[in-house]
């Protein structure tokens, strides 16, 4: 046999392979994403590649005996809800997040909380045993069944897993692992794809629950090929601003549950702490009642959150007024300000506008549109909105207030936290079936909303 070195160019975004370098990827239309990889292929004397193929016969689906998913609790109610009830045996979970956001801290706490379920193997290619031990002591980790392996060679890791047969395996991180079967460097598309495939086969065959930690790019996506997210069973993102203590765990893919659930944590000295009533925490510091501040009811998955939204308008000293959005979409802000100016007669053409979601959260749903318009109008008029008012509604281009979903959950959350008045779309008010202690005001357009808020 002879080894023939083959050079290919691989797209770092989607994994598309080409025999030559291309400026634009035909698969994902990404520019300058190709890099060179050298692949080794073993050939026989005839020059044909040697491959082993296993025979496999199709099965009748009706004859397949289905097994009920057995789960183990992660020890965090917030995480269990995001996962759909806990960690499924034999599942492959991908956890992504920015550096320093708290991924390793959360994982170590999970390793401690699953004690009694079986052995846990923590494989790290980034930190030494001493570093992990220091963090474990700070977090108060006491699980005697927690084992550590500092290794990046997948062959050694696989042997250790088979010999130990743990209940839970942690891979930190997938970008540092490599296989000798692939000649490219660790973290490349080929290596990540190969390592993930081997881990998936290993955990499915032996019923071992595996959590792999993945780095993210500057755009916030998991680094490596997009196929990585397709191969795993569950994809979780840990989000939050580094300078704020709150963290949101969001499920973007889940084969064993809903992808509409989120969990909320706070980073403290003792590690990640669950927040069971996030609405109360997010509005706890709102003691006074300044102009430009309003409470909006947003939905994170199926959980209602009451969040403070702030706006500031000031005369511009430049020819082009500035618009700044923190926590909301910038383009959405400019659109809503145009609607407010055109349909409600607010002269904002010479005003700088700054809008901020308190606590560093990011909200994308359109149900906070009316809240954005109300906060901007409140700051512009220098009139305060009553602190016991919650504003809900999507705003259209013609100034109409459109229906939002899950209005009952939003109203119940506002009622539970002691708010008195809630301004909602008129179409939602007509469909309400339950009675509330709230004074519910239905509005059809932004002019009616401004009058209801006392901004006219």
Q: What is the CATH number of the domain that holds 414?
A: 3.30.230.10
pLDDT value of residue 42 = 44
Domain check: are 34 and 74 in the same one? no
Cβ neighbours of residue 451 under 8 Å, at least 6 residues apart?
none
Domain check: are 241 and 295 in the same one? no
Residue 25 within a domain: yes
Name the stretches of the chain with pLDDT < 50. Answer: 1-2, 41-52
Q: Which residue has the tokens 């996962």?
A: 83
Domain check: are 209 and 306 in the same one? no
Q: Are 445 and 423 in contact (CB under 8 A)?
A: no
Residue 49 within a domain: no
Helix orientation angle between 369-381 and 330-344, rounded to the nearest 10 degrees = 60
- The DSSP call for residue 91 is -
DSSP string, 432-444: --S--SSEEEEES
Domain boundary residue among 225, 254, 276? 276
pLDDT value of residue 94 = 93
Domain check: are 181 and 321 in the same one? no
Residue 120 within a domain: yes
Domain check: are 89 and 17 in the same one? no
Domain check: are 182 and 137 in the same one? yes
Residue 51 within a domain: no
Structure tokens at 352: 């700088």
Rounded CA separation 372/361 (Å): 15
Rg (CA), the chain: 27
Helices (H), 88-244: 103-113, 129-139, 154-164, 189-206, 227-231
Residue 59 within a domain: no
Domain check: are 35 and 79 in the same one? no
pLDDT value of residue 46 = 42
Domain check: are 268 and 168 in the same one? yes
Domain check: are 359 and 444 in the same one? yes
Nearest to 173 by CA among 116, 222, 209, 138: 222
- Full-model pTM: 0.77
Rounded CA separation 333/329 (Å): 6
Domain check: are 420 and 355 in the same one? yes
Structure tokens at 332: 């959405």
pLDDT value of residue 422 = 96
pLDDT value of residue 67 = 67
The separation between the first and the last C-alpha atoms of the chain, rounded to the nearest angstrom, is 85
Rounded CA separation 195/203 (Å): 12
CATH number, domain with residue 114: 3.40.50.300
Residue 54 within a domain: no
pLDDT value of residue 68 = 65
Q: What torsion do the CA atoms of 426, 428, 430, 436 make, to the nearest 10 degrees?
A: -110
Q: Are 400 and 428 in contact (CB under 8 A)?
A: no
Q: How many structural domains comprise the chain?
A: 3
385-398 core/surface letters (b: 16 or more CB in 10 A; e: else): bebbbbbbbbbeee
The whole domain housing 290 covers: 281-452
pLDDT value of residue 52 = 47
Domain check: are 19 and 105 in the same one? no
Residue 52 within a domain: no
Nearest to 424 by CA among 389, 375, 391, 386: 391
Domain check: are 15 and 110 in the same one? no
Residue 61 within a domain: no
Q: Which residue has the tokens 């040697």?
A: 50
């Amino acid at each position: 046999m002879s080894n023939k070195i083959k050079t290919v160019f691989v797209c770092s975004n989607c994994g598309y392979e080409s025999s030559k370098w291309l400026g634009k990827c035909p698969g994902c239309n990404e520019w300058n994403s190709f890099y060179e990889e050298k692949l080794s292929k073993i050939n026989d004397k005839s020059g044909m590649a040697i491959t082993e193929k296993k025979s496999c016969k199709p099965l009748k689906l009706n004859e397949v005996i289905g097994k009920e998913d057995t789960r183990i609790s992660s020890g965090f109610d917030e995480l269990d809800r995001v996962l759909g009830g806990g960690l499924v045996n034999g599942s492959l979970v991908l956890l992504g997040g920015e550096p320093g956001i708290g991924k390793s801290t959360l994982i170590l706490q999970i390793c401690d909380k699953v004690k009694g379920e079986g052995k846990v193997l923590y494989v790290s290619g980034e930190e030494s045993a001493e570093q992990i031990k220091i963090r474990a002591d700070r977090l108060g980790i006491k699980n005697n069944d927690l084992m550590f392996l500092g290794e990046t060679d997948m062959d050694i890791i696989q042997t250790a897993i088979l010999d130990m047969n743990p209940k839970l395996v942690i891979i930190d991180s997938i970008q540092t692992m490599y296989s000798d079967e692939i000649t490219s460097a660790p973290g490349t598309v080929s290596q990540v794809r190969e390592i993930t495939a081997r881990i998936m086969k290993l955990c499915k065959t032996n019923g071992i629950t595996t959590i792999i930690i993945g780095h993210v790019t500057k755009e916030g996506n998991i680094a490596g090929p997009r196929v990585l997210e397709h191969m795993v069973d569950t994809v979780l993102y840990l989000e939050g601003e580094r300078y704020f203590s709150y963290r949101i765990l969001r499920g973007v893919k889940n084969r064993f549950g809903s992808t509409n659930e989120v969990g909320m944590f706070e980073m403290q000295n003792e590690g990640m702490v669950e927040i069971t009533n996030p609405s109360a925490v997010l509005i706890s510091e709102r003691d006074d009642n300044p102009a430009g501040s309003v409470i909006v009811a947003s939905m994170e998955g199926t959980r209602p959150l009451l969040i403070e939204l702030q706006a500031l308008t000031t005369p511009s000293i430049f020819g082009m007024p500035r618009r700044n959005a923190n926590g909301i979409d910038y383009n959405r802000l400019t659109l809503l300000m145009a609607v407010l100016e055109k349909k409600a007669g607010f002269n904002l053409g010479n005003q700088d506008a700054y809008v901020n979601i308190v606590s560093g959260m990011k909200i994308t749903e359109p149900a906070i549109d009316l809240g954005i318009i109300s906060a901007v109008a409140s700051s512009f008029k220098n009139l305060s909105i009553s602190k016991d008012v919650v504003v809900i509604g999507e705003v259209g281009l013609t100034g109409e207030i459109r229906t939002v979903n899950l209005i009952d959950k939003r109203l119940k959350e506002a009622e539970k936290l002691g708010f008195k008045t809630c301004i909602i779309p008129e179409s939602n008010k007509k469909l309400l079936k339950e009675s509330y202690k709230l004074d519910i005001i239905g509005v059809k357009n932004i002019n009616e909303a401004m009058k209801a808020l006392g901004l006219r």
